[in-house]
Each structure stands twice: as C-alpha cells, then as structure tokens.
Structure 1
Amino acid sequence: MSPKSSGILKGHFLMAIPGLPDPNFAQTVTCICEHNKTGALGFIINRIHPLLTGQELFEDLKITCNQAIDKIAIHLGGPVQPSGVFVLHGPPFDWHGCLKINDWLGLSNTRDILEAVARQEGPENFIVLLGCAGWGPLQLDNEINDNAWLTIPVSQEILFKTDVKLKWEMTMMQMGIVSDNHSDNSGKA
C-alpha cells in the first residue's frame, strides 16, 4: 500500500512512473530521507556521474584519499544543490549531523564521514552523491496523488547491492510491474 498524502514517505523509494516526461526524473529511483509539512528531501540512487571519479571529488574537497577510492561511483543525487556532497549510509550513525532515516539507513554530509569514506574507514555500505531532490510543502503529496510516482519501502538490497543500471527495473518488479508490459499512461481508479 502506498502512503499517499500521509506525509510518511521518509524511508521510501519513489519510482518515476513509466513515461514520466521530466528528464530530471525519467526512470529514476529516489530515496526519500525526509518528508514533513515543510516539504521533502530525497536522492536519486540510479544515476552515476559520467566523468567525475571518486579521487577527483575528494581531491576537489581537499581530502586525502586512498587510491582505491577511484572505484567508488559518484551518484547524481538530483538537480538541487548540484555541488553538495552527501552520503547515504548504513551504520554507524555517529557522524556529525547524521539524519537517521530508519534502523539501517542514515544521511550525512559532514567532513568526518567524507574523510572516513576517503580513507576506506567509513560505513560498510554507502553511496556518495552530488546534489539532491527537493519538494516544497505538499508538492510531493500532490505529485503522488497525480500518479507521477510509485512508492515502496526502501530496500537495502536495491540501495546498496543492486547494479545502478538495474535499480529502477528491480523496484518496479518489486511492485509487480514488468518494464516491457507497462503503459506510459497513468490514471486513477
């Protein structure tokens, strides 16, 4: 069941409906980290920066990093604050300013976690993101009521273990939607 208009989307994935015309969000999976009366904050988890390497990012931040950091994909988290660096991560949650999303997921963007990730001493599970997605008061609720998004609870497997190219398809499959037999039209029952 979808938590439509309940204001309780924190800890859920938003999946763009098939055929969503907005190029910023077409075929995206967005992890909602905060949702309240002032709006919503989320991060697209299935788009990778095509050029920026982990080493380049951490060098730009003047953070010393392990050479293996280059293997870390830098995700494009959304069109808002495109130069902001964020980390969606598993435990521990004792980083400065960590926003705990649920029992196994947190969001941080302070230097302490970035330095730990750069040294490969951070959380076991994490995603580094540039930018975020944001919605004003009731904006996301209205978009869901207009059938622009589908929702399911966040999955550790999809967030941290699934290949980025398969995340949208896998979340759709969890909802029972197979990508080759969907309609690009949405409606209300």
Structure 2
Amino acid sequence: MLGIEDHLSRRKRGCLDGHFLVAMPGMNDERFERSVIFVCAHSDDGAMGFILNRPQPLGFEELLENLDLDSHARRKADSTRKVGMSECARDFPIQFGGPVDTGRGFVLHSDDYMSESTMPVNDDLCLTATVDILRAIKDGCGPARGVMLLGYAGWAPGQLEAEISANAWLSCPARDEIVFDRDHSSKYDRVLHHMGVSPAMLSMEAGHA
C-alpha cells in the first residue's frame, strides 16, 4: 500500500476521489462499524481516506503541548499561554482518522490556507500534514474550516473495489458541510438520508443477506 503522499501527488483522480464511504450494517471490522469515510485518493495503486465520525478527547492545546512546538510558550503560566492562542485554535477539532499510522496527524481543510506542503484533495478541500499548519491555527491564521485527523484508512490495490463488491460499503459524492460537521452521532444516518437510504431498511436488508 502506497503512502499518503504517493496517493495525493498523482495527477489523475480516481472515480471515488471526493466521495463518502458508508459502512454497511454487516461490516465485520469493528474499527469501521457505522463509519463515514471521506476518500481522499483512489487509483489503481489503492485508496486512502479518513473516518469522519470518531471524535477524540484530546484538545488542540494539549496536542500542541505534547508536540512541544514552542517550548518557551509551554513553560509560561497557564493563563498566559491561553492568551497567546486564538479562540479558534482552542476549539479546533481532533478526530480519529483511521487505523493506519495513528501517531501521525493530518489536517483536512478548506482551500483558503496553502503552504508548500499542502496537497489539494479536490476542488474545495486540501490536506496538510506538517507542523506549519498547526502553528498557523494556533496563531489564528489557519484555514477557515478544518479538522485534524490522527491516522488514516488505507486499501491495497483492488481491495476497496472488492469490499464494495462484497457489499461492505455504500458510496456517494461527499458534502463539505458533513466533512466538517461536529454532530458525529448523527453523521452516519444523515449521509444515508442524503443518499435516499433509510437506515432501518438498510439494517433489514443486511439481516436477510
């Protein structure tokens, strides 16, 4: 399976790029049960994406402390340190992105922020996986919308196609408002609703499979 940069640096987009994957009720991997995944890259070399409905208890300020991006600021008194962080940064969401490379963070964000390491995902969204965006968010000059994801979901060549054929996933074009929505508990049902699929009927059909 290729690394995330290998997938995103390619020029040709795959048919599932910028799509949601919705786990079917019969999903046999508990890590993906009732998951909604945003596919960032899909090609003959495989696929990768991020789970969008698994919030993490870790706060952005705590994350910065753990990374020790600014050791001088970290040594300041708590109240002083908070004054130096934008309100947006303190509330910046952090989520579990998937079981691959969970020690690494990725920021999926709107295209109003760009750096040398930013990679476009589609016409509206970008991905940045370097500390420059964390500093920008801390200082209040990061993207207007974004989410930090720890780890990602990856598939080897042909694996995702096989799983879709085996009725493990439904797919549909992604909606930006759901990508950044923080109502995680209802996200799964809302994506199905946008697809015109009733969760109750989906469960019934899975029970007869």
Q: How many residues align?
A: 182
| Partner residue, 1:143 | 163
Equivalent residue for 1:58, pick from 60, 64, 72: 64
| Partner residue, 1:14 | 21
Letter in 2 for 1:13: F
| Partner residue, 1:115 | 135
| Partner residue, 2:206 | 185
State TM-score, norm by structure 1: 0.87
| Partner residue, 1:152 | 172
- SS at structure 1 position matched to 2:95: strand
Assess, with a 3 A threshold, how the Cα gap between structure 1 residues 15 and 94 changes in structure 2: closer, same or farther. same
Assess, with a 3 A threshold, how the Cα gap between structure 1 residues 112 and 178 changes in structure 2: closer, same or farther. same
| Partner residue, 1:76 | 96
Q: CA deviation at 1:61?
A: 1.7
In 2, Cα distance between equivalents of 1:13 and 1:187: 25
In 2, Cα distance between equivalents of 1:143 and 1:153: 18
In 2, Cα distance between equivalents of 1:174 and 1:88: 22
State TM-score, norm by structure 2: 0.80
Q: CA deviation at 1:178?
A: 2.0
User: Identity of counterpart residues, as a percentage?
Assistant: 38
User: What are the within-5 Å matches in structure 2 for residues 71-110 of structure 1?
Assistant: 71-92=91-112, 94-110=114-130
Matched, 1:30 2:37: yes
Assess, with a 3 A threshold, how the Cα gap between structure 1 residues 62 and 172 changes in structure 2: closer, same or farther. same
> Contact (CA 8 Å) 1:32, 1:42: kept in 2 or not?
yes
In 2, Cα distance between equivalents of 1:66 and 1:115: 10
Assess, with a 3 A threshold, how the Cα gap between structure 1 residues 131 and 113 changes in structure 2: closer, same or farther. same
- SS at structure 2 position matched to 1:161: coil
Higher helix share: 2
Unpaired segments of 5 or more residues in structure 2? Answer: 1-12, 71-83
> Contact (CA 8 Å) 1:55, 1:67: kept in 2 or not?
no
Backbone CA RMSD of aligned residues: 2.2
- SS at structure 1 position matched to 2:30: coil
- SS at structure 2 position matched to 1:24: helix
> Contact (CA 8 Å) 2:21, 2:170: kept in 1 or not?
yes
